[in-house]
Each structure stands twice: as C-alpha cells, then as structure tokens.
Structure 1
Amino acid sequence: MPHHIFCAADNIEHDKYHDCKQSYYRIRKLSDELCSEHNLSVIIPGGERGKKYNEWQADKNSSAWKTQIRKDINAAIKSSSTYEEFLLLMRAKGYEIKGETFGDDALKFISFRPLGKDRFVRGSIKSLGKEYTKERIKERIELKRERKAVIPKRDYAGKRLIDTSDEKFQNSPGLQRWAAVENLKIAAQAYNEAGSIKELEQKIATTAATEKEAKQTVRKLENRIKDLAEIIKYAEQYKANKAYHTAYKKSKNPDAYFRKHESQIILYGGARRMLEQTGIPLKGLNIDKLKAEYQELTAQKKELTATYKNCEKELKSLNRKLENLNQYLGRTEPPKSAQEQPDRDNNPSR
C-alpha cells in the first residue's frame, strides 16, 4: 500500500483542504482505485470488530484455533487462482469441508473442521468474520486476479518447444516459419496461464508445498488408521470373549471350566491388556463409534491421496511450462535425453 502526497491548497480555486471523516473515505477509495489500476496491493478490511474479550485475548496469544483457521484460509486464498484450487489447498492442510457448493440445494454456510477437532466451524460473519463466508472467499480469489487468461483454441500445455537447431530446419525456411509460429503459441499459452515466470515459479513452489503437506497428512492418517484397526480388533475380541471370563470367575470348578474354554479366556485377557495399554476405557466400550471413526479417516485419506496425486500431475504440467518459457526466452538449453536421465533415476522401479 503506497503513500499518497498531495498539496493542501487548490491551485485553481485557492481553497484549503479541510480534513474530515467523509474526505478520508473518499481518499481511501481513490487510493484503492489507483492501486488496482497499477496492479498494487489493496488492503481489505479484516472484519475483526465485535469480538468477545476472551476471543480477543486468545487471538492476541495466537492460541485460538479459530485464528489458525483464518490464517490457513488467508494463506490458501493467497496461493489460489480459483475457488476449486482454494478447496484443494484447504483439504491438503487436513481440513474437512462441507457446505462449499453454491445453489438452491446447497448449505447456507461453508464449514471447516481441522484435523483432530470434534466440531466444524462455520464460515459465517458471527463465527469467523465477514471475510470468511464462501461468497466472500470466492470474491477475494476473483479480485486477486490481475489479468484474464486468453486461452488459445488448441491446447499447447502438454507440448515441448520445437528444437530448430536440427539440420532439417536449417535447410527449410518454410519449416522454420512453421516451428517459430508453433513455439510462439506454446510460449504464449504458458505465459497466459502463468502470468509471468516469477508467478509460475511461485505457483510451482506452492503446488510442491501442497503436495508435500498432503502426503504428510496422509501418513499421519495412515498411522492413526493402523492403530485404530488394531484397537477395533482387540475391542471385538474383548467383547466376544467377555462372557467366558465372567463365567470362569463364577464357576464352581474354575480349573475344569478353564481347560474347556482356555483359548477364549486367554484371548479375553490379552485383548483387555492391549486396550488398557492404549488408554481405551473398557466401561461403555463402543465398537460402532470406533468403526465410524475408522471409516471417516479412511475417507479423508482417500480424498487427500487424490489431492496430492492431482498436485503431482499439475507440477509436471507447470514445470513443462516453465521449461518452455525459459527455453523460448533463451534462459536454458533445449532439453537433451541426458538431461532427462535424472528424472528416470528418481523413479526407481523397486
């Protein structure tokens, strides 16, 4: 946000500038318009007024989880060029999202649930603030775009620049003109979709970070799913054999009863020890609830796996565009088979 300096005296009418609240808002509006015209940043009001004291204090200490949600939303908006990409980034951070769609049948509010939390937080004016409703989030992403991409009718995104150093191009002016036009189209699409090399490099870094974050979250989910599967196994084993243990304790001839139902009693004892070690309360043990959590975590893992695979695909496309732009602008040499060898080495067949 730049500073604007102006003379306090009117050189034509010789009037003096008098400051008031109304003139402040006019100057701010004019400043925002000038910044937008010159592709400079515009400060968006945060809608932070009207907080309770304990929330304000928690925000100040950076301990409120709502504050973290706002930070993650702001970071995702900053790194996204579309609303769909914003949703991908938030899910890659481990958030479960509902109510994100628009339409007559859609939920009124978008809601976010961080990994490890029990409840969703609404993206409403009352809960997170006016800057965090789904309509405003989409609007903020659209306002952030500095230019509209002009997409050629033919898709050149997956093409490499044509290497015109080959002998057949040197001996054919017509082939050279065709290659020059094709290379221009490839570079133009890459530039239109990226905006600039700096923006493209930033996009590559953001996508790579999203992929890494999604993979890390998937690993955490896999560990939790594995542990939960063990807990469910022992819980079912505990419940199935509890009656034998109870009867064994009440039996008039415990030794004979134990010999007859030895395996069930041993299974019960082992399951009980494992559940106690993991901190699962045996009183009111709810296997259905554990299975519901297992299914929920499995669904989250599936969604995040799709996210990082999409990121891998997008990274490949973005790196191709950067390579084409660098080559077209003379910043790199045309790719050789030897240069592509490290890519094959980084993907072991084992």
Structure 2
Amino acid sequence: MPLHTGKGRTVGTAISDILDYVENPQKTDNGRLITGFQCDSRVADAEFLFTKRQYAALTGRTRGADDVIAYHVRQSFKPGEVTPEEANRIGVEFAKRFTKGNHAFIVCTHIDKSHVHNHIIWNSTALDCKRKFRNFWNSTRAVRRLSDTLCIENGLSIVENPNRHGKKYNKWLGDRKKPSQRDALRGFIDEALAKQPADFGALLKLLREAGCEVKDGGKVPSLMAPGWKAYARMDTLGADYDVDVLRAVLSGQKAHTPRKKAVQLTPEKRVNLLVDIQEKLRAGKGAGYERWARSFNLKQMAQTLNYLTEHGLLEYGALSEKTAAATARFNGLSRQIKAAEKRLAEIAVLRTHIINYSKTREVYVAYRKAGYSKKFKAEHEAELLLHQTAKKAFDELGVKKLPTVRSLQAEYAALLAEKKEAYGDYRKARDEMKELLTVKANVDRLMGYDEKSAEQEKEKSPAR
C-alpha cells in the first residue's frame, strides 16, 4: 500500500503517524518484535524525513501531496503455525528480497490478534538518496508470490484462493452460516404445505404460527421470517412459490416441488494439491519426499506451488489435462512449422527448376527437331542436362501443370509470414509446455505419483 501525506499533514507528521501505529508497544511485546534495516526504529521517522530532504537537494525534484512517502505491507500467518520471532524474521527476509536491500525498512510483528502478523514499512527513498522505489503494475501479485515462497520455504501455510477484495472473516463466516430470508421463507412454506392446509388462508395461518409475520392487505402477501427486519413479497420467492401456483397446489391441481437450498451451509470437502503438498512438506518424511529433496530444493517447490495457485491447477486431474493440452498444442505447432519449412524448400527448388526449364526449352525443342542428334547434344550438353533435370524434378514433385514464378513467390511470401507468426506461438507454447512439465514432474516426484504409475504399468505387463 503506498502511503501519502494526506490532508493537513506534513511529510514528517505523516511518517510519525504511520510508525507510531505499527510500533505500538502493546502490540509488539514492548518493542521486542521490531526490527529495523539501515535505520534505528526509535528515530526512523527522522531518518526517513532526512533522506527525502537529501533526495530533493541532490535531484532537485519535489512532489506535492501525491508524493509516496513510504510503502506498507501487511503479512499475516495462520494461527498456531509460527512464533512471533519467526514471523518477524520472515518479514525481514521479505523486505530485503523485495527492495533488494536498497531501502531502509522496519518490520513490526503484532501479537494482539489470534493470528500473528507483520507490518512492513519501507522508505520510498533509496539509501543513496538519488532515486525512489517505483511501484509497478501487478505489484500485489509479486508481493503475494514472494510471501508465499517464504512461507513454503519455512513450512508454513499459504492461502489457497487469494482474492483482492474479500469480506472480513466474521462477515464471511456469518454469511455462510445464515441463509437468506427468501431461502428461510421458502423453507417455512415447504413445512406448512407438508401439513396439508385446507386453503391459502390456512397456509398463511400456519406461517404465522411458525413465527413468520404476514402482511395480507394487498394483492400479493408479504412475509418476514423470524430474526429479519424487512418483508419480502411472495412473488419474489420464485415461480413455485407464486400465490396463484400455491393456490393451485392447495386445490390439488398441481404438485408442489420444494426448491433446493441456494446456499450450501456445509462446504464440500475437496482434497487438492495445495493441501496435499503442504502436508507432505510439513511431514518431511517418506521415500518420495527424500528422493525429491536430494534433487530439488524448497525454492523450486515454492515456485511450483505459486504456479499451481495462480493458474488454478489445484486438482491433479486439471494439471494433467492442461499439461497434455500444452504438449499437444506445442506438437501441433511444431508439425505446422515443419510442414511450412518443407514447402518453402520445395518452392525454392521448384522455382529454380522452372527458371532453368524456361531458359532451356528452346534448346530442347531444337534438339528434338534435330532428331536427337549426338552432335547437337554434345554442343548443348549443359543446357539439355538442366532441362532434363528440371523435368525429372517436376515428375518427382508430382507437378503436372507448371505454376508461374509469380504465384510461387506469392505462396513463398505467405508461407514465410505464416511461419514467422507460428514461431511466436511456438515459443510461447514451448515455454508453457516446459513449465507445466516441470511443475507436474515436481508434483509427481514429491507425491510419489510417478512411482504409482510405474507400479501400475508393471502390473499390466505380462510376466515373462
């Protein structure tokens, strides 16, 4: 998050306000969980301000209220997985890597919540006071990737499906536990219909007895479920709960079909690669893991998990399908380019033979008129050889009607452009295929999927 001065604040005041909040002694164990890099955390506001004045003096560049004075990252950890000291160390490592050690920063680890979290503040002005940190497009993604990498390297959990704009946890949890009022009202109506009321008035009476409030003054009654503060018209509950439809159900003219709940209260448990791999890494045992660890390192596995998360490949089947599709696309483009190259070579040869054939045609006609004279052949041997070679090439290429040189040149130019365009897609497909094959190989080795596959193939093969 870029931090600005804001209204009515000087740069010095703005820096002090930011640092006073993150350095709160009550949240940082009386300052024990504060680490500074290239600055003293106790006077970091003064040091940050000094570098900005030095920057203005050295470069002559000044900015107004829109100037970014510092950058702020919040880094949270799953409750119970990390100690405050370890969280602080990871925060320092993150800041050093992200700023490449070119900016002063402080890391304040807060322990006032159930989840330990870091507040990382770095000076927008570099240590040499000659340049500033330039935020870049998609920097949020880069921050998450680096943070996830560090968490994986340290055996900590990462977020499975990160969303930039989400609800607060308590609101999200509340929404999942409580269905909407219309879902609740449909449930009340289903229960009332199960009691087989005599008519629509009896249905409304059963709803009142169940705790619903009913407004029946207009053409369409409105209902309010217990615990809610607003009414909902019955014609907004869906076609099966329309007043006319319900009257038809009560008179026996129509059967009622209860609507399935739109909200799934208990999320379906879904095993995915992110969970499986993290459990494997935390376990740190097993033959598959040990063999993988001898050939790879945690940074590579962090990159693998980042790739799986960012591309939504959290199920092994999806990873296998995408890898197969990428391989097929690469092979298809490879065949396309090879076919174009083959045809380009044919056109080049054909063009040469057509030119030679055209240049020597009159000589060959004269040779034929001379009754294939040996003397004539000896005198024009080179031209006749070129002519015969060209005719032989036409036969081998299956050419019955000679194309014009202009048409060949046009075809050659079109194929060359097609090949050039295909090469761009070819390189992208090759890189995507290599990346997917690497990711899948890492997953297979760590999870032991390659061993299972080998065992299955061994079982299928007949004994000798």
Larger CA Rg, structure 1 vs 2: 2
Which protein has the bigger strand share?
A: 2
Q: TM-score scaled to structure 2, two decimals? A: 0.30
Q: Which structure has the higher relative contact order (CA within 8 Å, separation 6+)? A: 1
Q: TM-score scaled to structure 1, two decimals? A: 0.38
